[in-house]
Structure 1
Amino acid sequence: MSMVLDVFVGNTTIMDMDIYQLWLDGLTVREAVKARMDQGALLECEANAEVLMSDTMDQFRTFQLCERLLHSPTKLANQLLFQIPSQHQRMLIEKYYEFDSVFAREVLGKKLSKGTKKDLDDISSKTGITLKSCRRQFDNFKRVFKVVEDLKGPLVENIQHHFLLTDTQARDYAAIVFFANSRFETGKRKLQYLSFQDFAYCASQLIQYWTTGAVGELHLYSMVEDMDVDLEKEFLHELKDLKVLVNDKNMLDQHKVLVCAALRGKIKVYRLMEANFKNLSRALINLASKLTHTKDVRDLFIDLVEKVIEPCRCDRWTLGEVTLFLTQYTNAAHGLGTFSRQVVWDRYMGVIRSCILRMYHE
C-alpha cells in the first residue's frame, strides 16, 4: 500500500500563548493538560488525551529552554537557537515579567533577599498563587533591582532599556525597586487597606519630585547621581525650614485665617476643620521636618495615615473636602509675605497632597 503524507518543514518556533500562561502560572504538565481539557481543547483540536499531553510537554520544554534568555530580554532577539517572530518575543517578555498585584503587595518594601524568599511558602498559601509563580515573580523583582539599582539616569527608562517592558510595567517595577531601596514600611495593620497600585502611585510621585532626578525647574543637579532611587538629601534637609509655619504663632494664625476664608461655606466639616487646623498643620509640618532621619522616611506612609488620614476619617471628611482643604492649605502659604520657602513648600506639599488623596479611602 502506498501512503501520501503532507509534510511541512520550518524553523520558526511555535509557541502557544495559552499554554505559556499555564506554565507561567506554575502548573505542572498534568495540571496544564487538565486545564486545557476543561477549556475544551480535545474538541477544538480533535485530539485525544495522549496527544494533548505530548503537545503540552513539548511546549513546556520549549518554555524552559527559553527561560534563561528571558532573564536578559535584550539577548532574545540576537540568539540563534530559537527563531521567534518579533511580536511573539515581545509577548513572551511582557508575560514573563507580569506579576500579581496581591503578590507584589506582600513583598513591597521588604528586602529582596534570601530571607524574604523563605517566606514565599506563606505568601503562596495566603494569596492562592502557586509557589512556582511566586518564585518567578520574586526572582524577577530581584533581577530588575540588581540591574538598575546603581545605574545613572531615570529609573523607568533604565528598566525599559534593559528589560524591554511596556511603560506601565516599567513604572510598576520602578515602584518595587524604589520601595525595596528605601525600605518604606508597608506591612503595618493600619496600611493593609492600601493596594499595590496605591503605593505604586505614591512611589511615582516621590520619584518624580523628591529624588535627585526630579525633573523640570526643580532639577538643579547634574546627571551624575543615582538619580531616581535615592531621595535628595539636600531637599530633605531644606524641609526643616518649613517649621516656621507652625513655630511662628503669627504666621500660623495668618495661615489659618487665609485657609478658613477660602473654605467658609464650601465644606460641611468647616467648624471641625477650623477647630483642628493647628493640629493638622503641625502634623503635616512635623512630618516634613523629620524626613532627614532614615527611620522617619521609612515611616512616611504610616505617619500620613495616623497623623492626617485617620483624624479626618474620624471627623467624616469626604474625599472632596480633603481635596479642597489640602489645595487651599497649600495655596494659602503663598499669601504669607514673610514665608520665603515657597519652592520647597510646593515641592513638598505637591507630593504629600497627591499621596494623601490616593490613600484616602472613604
Structure 2
Amino acid sequence: MSMELDVFVGNTTMMDMNIYQLWLDGLTVNEAVKVRMDEGALLECEANKEVLTSDTMDQFRTFQMCERLLHFPTKLANQLLFQIPSQQQGVLIEKYYEFDCVFARELLGKKLSKGTKKDLDDVSCRTGITLKSCRRQFDNFKRVFKVVEELKGPLEENIQHHFLLTDTLARDYAAIVFFANSRFETGKRKLQYLSFQDFAFCAGQLIRYWTIGAVDSLVEDKDVDLEKEFLHELKDLKVLVNDKDMLDQHKVLVCAALQGKIKVYRLMEANFKNLSRALINLAAKLTHTKDVRDLFIDLVEKFIEPCRYDEWTMAEITLFLTHYTNAAHCLGTFSHQMVWDRYMGVIKSCILQMYHE
C-alpha cells in the first residue's frame, strides 16, 4: 500500500496575531486556551484541547523569544534568528508598544521610577488590566523616555525613528515623555474627569507652541522643556488687568462682539473681570515650576468650573475665547501681541478640549 504526502519546508516564523494579543494582554497559556475555545477554535481547527494547548504554548514561547528584539525595534529587521516578513514586523512592534489609555491616565505626570513600578499592583486592580500587561506597558514608557530624553531634535520624530511607531502612537508617547519630564499635576480629584486623550491633546499644543523648539528648530532638547524666556514674557500680559482703562476697554470690545450671540451674555458681562484676571494671572505665574505643574488644575478651578457653574455651552466658550483673544489686538496701547497670541492660542485649545459639558 503506497501513500503520497505533500511536504512543505520553510523557515518563515509563523505567528498568530490573535494569540499574540492574548500574550500581550498578560494571559497565561491556560487562560489563552480557554479564550480560544470560547471563540470556537476547536471547531475551526478540528482539533482537541491538547493540540490547542500545545499550539498556544508554542506561540507564547516564540513571542517570549522575540521580546528582547522588540525592546529595540530597529534591530528586528537585521536579526537572523527569526525570519519575519517586514509587514508582520511592523504589526508586532506596533502592537507591542500599544497601551491602554486608562493605564496611561493612571501614570500620567508621575516619575517613571522603581517606586511607581511598585504601585502597579494597585493600578492593575483599579483598571482591570493584568499585572503582566501593566509591567510591559510601564517598561515601554520608561524605555522610550530613557532613549529620547537626551536626543536632539523633535520628540515625536525621535520616537518614530528609534521605535518605528506610527504617527498616532508616536504622538501619544511624546505626550507621555513630555508629562513625565515636566511632572504636570494630573491626579487631583477635580481632574479625574479628563481622559488620557484630553491630556495628550494639550501636551501636543504645549510642545508645538510653548517649547524652545516652537521658535528655534536648532536647539537641543527642544520639545521636552518649556521656553523659559517665553514664560518670563508672560508677566507682561498683566497690564491687561492691572491697567483699569485697558481692562474696561477690553471688556467693552468683547461685550460688543458677543451681545445677542450668547445666552449667558449677562453673566459674562458681570463676570468678565474675574474671568480675564483668571486667565492673565495664570499666565503671570508660569515662571514658577510649581505653577507650571499646576497649569491644568488652575485652568479647571479658575476658568472651567465657573463657566460650567453658569452653564456655558461649548459654543459659547468658543465664541468668548475667540473674541477675548481678538479684542486685545484692537487695544492701541497693548504692545505684547505676539506673546499674547502664543499664549492664548494654547490656552484656548486646551480649555476647549478640557471643557466637558
| Bin for the TM-score computed over the shorter chain | over 0.9
Match of 2:252 among 248, 252, 257: 257
Quick check: 1:294 aligned with 2:278?
no
Q: Distance in 2 between matches of 1:166 and 1:119?
A: 30
Q: Which residue of 2 aligns with 1:161?
A: 161
Q: Which residue of 2 aligns with 1:142?
A: 142
Match of 2:311 among 307, 316, 330: 316
The structural deviation recorded for 1:222 is: 5.0
| Count of residue pairs the alignment pairs up | 357
Q: Output the amino acid matched with 2:162.
A: H
Q: Output the amino acid matched with 2:273.
A: K
Q: Which residue of 1 aligns with 2:230?
A: 235
Q: Distance in 2 between matches of 1:161 and 1:97?
A: 14
Q: Distance in 1 between matches of 2:213 and 2:96?
A: 29
Q: Distance in 2 between matches of 1:40 and 1:278?
A: 65
Q: Output the amino acid matched with 1:240.
A: K
Q: Distance in 1 between matches of 2:34 and 2:313?
A: 49
Q: Distance in 2 between matches of 1:232 and 1:142?
A: 24
Q: Distance in 2 between matches of 1:346 and 1:160?
A: 30
Q: Distance in 2 between matches of 1:33 and 1:334?
A: 65
The structural deviation recorded for 1:2 is: 5.2
Q: Distance in 2 between matches of 1:32 and 1:8?
A: 28
Q: Is the 8 A contact 2:213 2:219 kept in 1?
A: no
The structural deviation recorded for 1:4 is: 4.0
Q: Output the amino acid matched with 1:328.
A: H
The structural deviation recorded for 1:6 is: 2.8
Q: Which residue of 2 aligns with 1:8?
A: 8
Quick check: 1:46 aligned with 2:41?
no
Partner secondary structure for residue 335 of structure 2:
coil
Q: Distance in 2 between matches of 1:40 and 1:75?
A: 36
Q: Which residue of 2 aligns with 1:333?
A: 328
Please give the residue correspondences for 1:1-362 in structure 2 after superposition, counting only pairs within 5 Å: 3-214=3-214, 219=215, 221=216, 223-362=218-357
Q: Distance in 1 between matches of 2:257 and 2:336?
A: 22
Query: TM-score under structure 2 normalisation?
Result: 0.99
Q: Output the amino acid matched with 2:131.
A: L
Q: Distance in 1 between matches of 2:218 and 2:77?
A: 30
Partner secondary structure for residue 77 of structure 2:
coil
The structural deviation recorded for 1:170 is: 0.3
Gap runs ≥5 in structure 2: none
Q: Deviations over 1:53-108 (max 9, x none)?
A: 11101100000000000000000000000000001000000000000000000000
Partner secondary structure for residue 77 of structure 1:
helix
Q: Distance in 2 between matches of 1:270 and 1:63?
A: 61
The structural deviation recorded for 1:225 is: 2.1
Gap runs ≥5 in structure 1: none
Q: Distance in 2 between matches of 1:228 and 1:212?
A: 7
Partner secondary structure for residue 50 of structure 2:
helix
The structural deviation recorded for 1:122 is: 0.5
Q: Output the amino acid matched with 1:325.
A: F
The structural deviation recorded for 1:8 is: 1.4
Partner secondary structure for residue 241 of structure 2:
helix
Partner secondary structure for residue 213 of structure 2:
coil
Q: Is the 8 A contact 2:178 2:224 kept in 1?
A: yes
Q: Output the amino acid matched with 1:309.
A: I
Q: Distance in 2 between matches of 1:316 and 1:25?
A: 42
The structural deviation recorded for 1:223 is: 1.2
Q: Distance in 1 between matches of 2:218 and 2:160?
A: 18
Q: Distance in 2 between matches of 1:204 and 1:46?
A: 50
Q: Distance in 2 between matches of 1:4 and 1:114?
A: 60
The structural deviation recorded for 1:130 is: 0.4
Q: Distance in 1 between matches of 2:78 and 2:175?
A: 30
Query: TM-score under structure 1 normalisation?
Result: 0.98
Q: Distance in 2 between matches of 1:43 and 1:324?
A: 59
Q: Distance in 2 between matches of 1:57 and 1:5?
A: 27
